[in-house]
Structure 1
Amino acid sequence: MYTLKIIPRTLHFKQPAGTSRGVYHTRQVWYLLLTDTETGQYGVGECAPLPALSCDDLPDYPRLLAEICEKTAANGYIDYEGLRPYPSILFGLETAFAHLQANSLQFWDTPFSRGEQGIPINGLIWMGNFDEMYRRIEEKMKAGFRCIKVKIGAIEFERELELLAHIRRHFSAADIELRVDANGAFSPEDALRKLTQLNEFQLHSIEQPVRAGQWEVMKELCATSPFPIALDEELIGVNETERKIQLLDTIRPQYIILKPSLHGGIQGSKEWITLAQERGIGYWVTSALESNIGLNAIAQWCATLQPKMPQGLGTGMLFTDNIDYPLHIEGDCLWFHPEEKIPDFPTYLQTI
């Protein structure tokens, strides 16, 4: 028998997180405390839908979450098929059960979970004005990141090109891998022209150049772009297997980016990977503004994939009121230190 307690919490960003959809100052999450009533073992999960982005960002989310948790606790298992439309809830439940079953934050036995190996990550440059972004780029380069991802689409395109030129003046493509994320900011009419201009800077890839849902436009861009395109928002709400197949077969992207909170939980993300690999499509894994609870779960799973290319796992460190976890960014890698003390969650979560 299990019990599932829901603990809502508002997190506060250390600095405003700018995207093409606006600026985040706070982040609403729901922690799940899963307890085995016979053994007393527990697991903690995190449900964190992104406002105006997640397919399960619904007005009655708290009620829906409560109903699903009550049913899951009574059944003793996760209804994966029934929860396909609710990826953030599915991810939170998966996280809680993985924690409980492992009886540890080391969900799987990997060199990462043993503290022997870090996961390479990109240095993320949030949107801001020119001076803010310039300063952030300088900080990431000085910190030793070998891969930098720049969010674009918030300031004048010519100014964004200047920022990329600044990086390339100091570091060649062999020194620093450059990725950009447009978050759907380009119009279909000028997307290819902008991609051609961006190609001057020897970019690794661009995420979501045009807004999601324009499959034929994206298909044409993926076929004609001078450098690779990665899908992100395009995957949101595509939860059924046949629909995933249809999307990949239609658009034929070079990469997909997997965010378990948005793209079907860990189970759904595994399905995306299988389908992508069958079609010769690459992928990497990214967190989606979760706290350290969600970030740890994503990183522990990501480590089982033995990633070689930089992943997007730095965003769990953005909050002033995060939960202490043995996660650290050292150089350009995320590390897990299993020897560090962790909170006693049943006690700790009652006090936050």
Structure 2
Amino acid sequence: MKANYLHYFLNFKRPSGTSRGVLTTKETWFLVLENEGKKGIGECGLLRSLSIDDRPDYEEKLKWVCENIALGPEMLWNQLLEFPSIQFGVEMAFKSLEAKNKFILFPSEFTEGKSAIPINGLVWMGDKAFMKEQISEKIKAGFRCIKLKIGAIDFQTELDLLKYIRTEFSSKEIELRVDANGAFSFLEAMEKLKKLSEYEIHSIEQPIKQGQWEQMADLCSKTPIPIALDEELIGVSTVTKKQELLQIIKPQFAIFKPSLIGGFMGTQEWVDLVEQNSIGWWVTSALESNVGLNAISQWIFSKKSLLPQGLGTGGLYTNNIESPLVVKNGELRYDPERSWNFKL
């Protein structure tokens, strides 16, 4: 068996803002396996400034994986605990190599084009006019769940945008999620949560920065809006530590980004634990190309989750990998009539 990797930069169609800054490009790495004439493809979706494996020796570790690919997926996964995005790329590549079609990792009614996955429409940060334009586009496109990135512009302006939606659509018509990416301080968070609750918000992701377990636990116990952990889960790699985090914080929801928490195996560990604790959950992409998005989508469909997932990122780039993934009427679909174009 041979293995190599390709370094690739995805270019955003237009700058996309979060509370951590504005994104214009997204760096990623493709792991390609070859064995007896077959190929397998995985994506190591490093997310700069957020992934715990954003470190100087990242490419060196990828080289090590290629040199030691004969160890197999399980042994490699166990030796890559500090590199969750590479864990995911390795899992994906081996699954791809074993499949009849290298891009159909989990055959289902989804990959046959018979069923779809409900997803949220993502509204990026920007000035009021830009965010309002995005909201209108998502509603016209048939989305029934909209997620707004908040925390980077004036808070009252953000409340005005939520009011604008609620003036037109009730919570039964449009589900609203907000994502603060840790932008609030603990001292201001509760007051902001109260103001947000006036607009019947489904949930808020990561209102304060990760690592403040006691403060987050306090918010979760008193919040008028269900709180979803996101960045909080990054870097928590052992089952014992995962159990401890959930028992202390007791969140209402958890959001899983496989590229940031160890791929399918790492995500499944979290899923088992949150379900044992009656905590709701859904999966979100971490700005991967269509290669990674495809793997996540097929995996989550196999879990029969009924909540809208955060998988609407495939159309963000000018140079994404052409794929059968399409978004229509607020759902992600796999169109078997469309082909992959993996020429890098």
Q: Could you state the TM-score of these two structures normalised by the residue count of structure 2?
A: 0.97
Alignment-derived partner of residue 339 in structure 1: 337
Q: Which residue of 1 aligns with 2:71?
A: 75
Partner of 2:137: 139
Instruction: Kindly indicate whether residue 135 of structure 2 is the aligned counterpart of residue 102 of structure 1.
Output: no
- Residue 16 of structure 1 corresponds to 15
Equivalenced residues, count: 342
Give the 3-state SS of the residue equivalent to 1:190 in structure 2.
Answer: helix
Deviations 1:53-83 (A, max 9, x none): 1011111211111112321x22233422222
Unaligned runs of 5+ in 1: none
1:232 aligned partner: 230
Any conservation in 2 of the 1:258–1:269 contact (CA below 8 Å)? yes
Q: Give the deviation of 1:341 after TM superposition.
A: 2.4
2:126 corresponds in structure 1 to: 128
Query: 1:308 and 2:294 equivalent?
Result: no
User: Using the alignment, how far apart are the partners of 1:336 and 1:310 within structure 2?
Assistant: 16
Q: Which residue matches 1:279?
A: 277
Offset at residue 317 of structure 1 (A):
2.0
Point out 4+ residue stretches in structure 1 off by more than 4 angstroms: none
For 1:96, the aligned partner's letter is A
Name structure 2 gaps, 5 residues minimum.
Answer: none
Q: Determine helix, strand or coil for the equivalent of 1:283.
A: strand
Deviations 1:219-269 (A, max 9, x none): 000000012000000000001111101100100001100000001211100
Counterpart residue identity of residue 111, structure 1? E
**How much does 1:115 deviate?**
0.8
The reply on whether 1:29 has 2:25 as its aligned counterpart is: no
Matches within 5 A, 1:1-352: 2-36=1-35, 38=36, 40-71=37-68, 73-79=69-75, 80-104=77-101, 105-343=103-341, 345=342, 348=343, 352=344
Read off the aligned partner of 2:121 and give its amino acid letter: G
Q: What SS class does the counterpart of residue 306 from structure 2 fall into?
A: coil
How far, CA to CA, are the matches of 1:76 and 1:122 in structure 2?
Answer: 36
Task: Please say if residues 78 and 93 of structure 1, whose CA atoms lie closer than 8 Å, have aligned partners that are also in contact.
Answer: no
CA contact (8 A) 2:147 2:176 kept: yes
Partner amino acid, structure 1, of 2:92: T
Choose 176-185 or 27-36, whichever is displaced more.
27-36
For 1:270 and 1:307, locate their aligned partners in 2 and report how far apart those are by CA, in whole Å: 13
- Partner letter of residue 135 of structure 1? E
With 61-70 and 124-133 compared, the bigger mean Cα shift is at: 61-70
Partner of 1:271, secondary structure, is: helix
* 158-167 or 301-310, larger mean C-alpha shift: 301-310
Q: Deviations over 1:185-228 (max 9, x none)?
A: 00000100000000000010000000000000000000000120
Contact 1:291 1:317 in 2 (8 A): no
Q: Distance in 2 between matches of 1:68 and 1:3?
A: 11
RMSD: 1.0
Shift of 1:103: 2.6
Amino acid aligned to 1:46: E
Deviations 1:79-129 (A, max 9, x none): 222222211001111111111111322211221111101100000000111
Does structure 1 conserve the Cα–Cα contact (< 8 Å) formed by 2:88 and 2:259?
Answer: yes
Does the CA contact (< 8 Å) of 2:73 and 2:91 recur in 1? no
- Contact 1:120/1:309, CA 8 A, preserved across alignment: yes
SS at match of 2:125: coil
Distance 1:76 1:256 in 2: 30
Contact in 1 for aligned 2:73/2:90 (Cα 8 Å):
no
- Tell me if the contact between 1:122 and 1:314 (Cα under 8 Å) persists in the aligned partners: yes
Question: Structure 1-normalised TM-score?
Answer: 0.95
Percent identity among equivalent residues?
A: 51
Shift of 1:340: 2.3
Shift of 1:17: 1.4
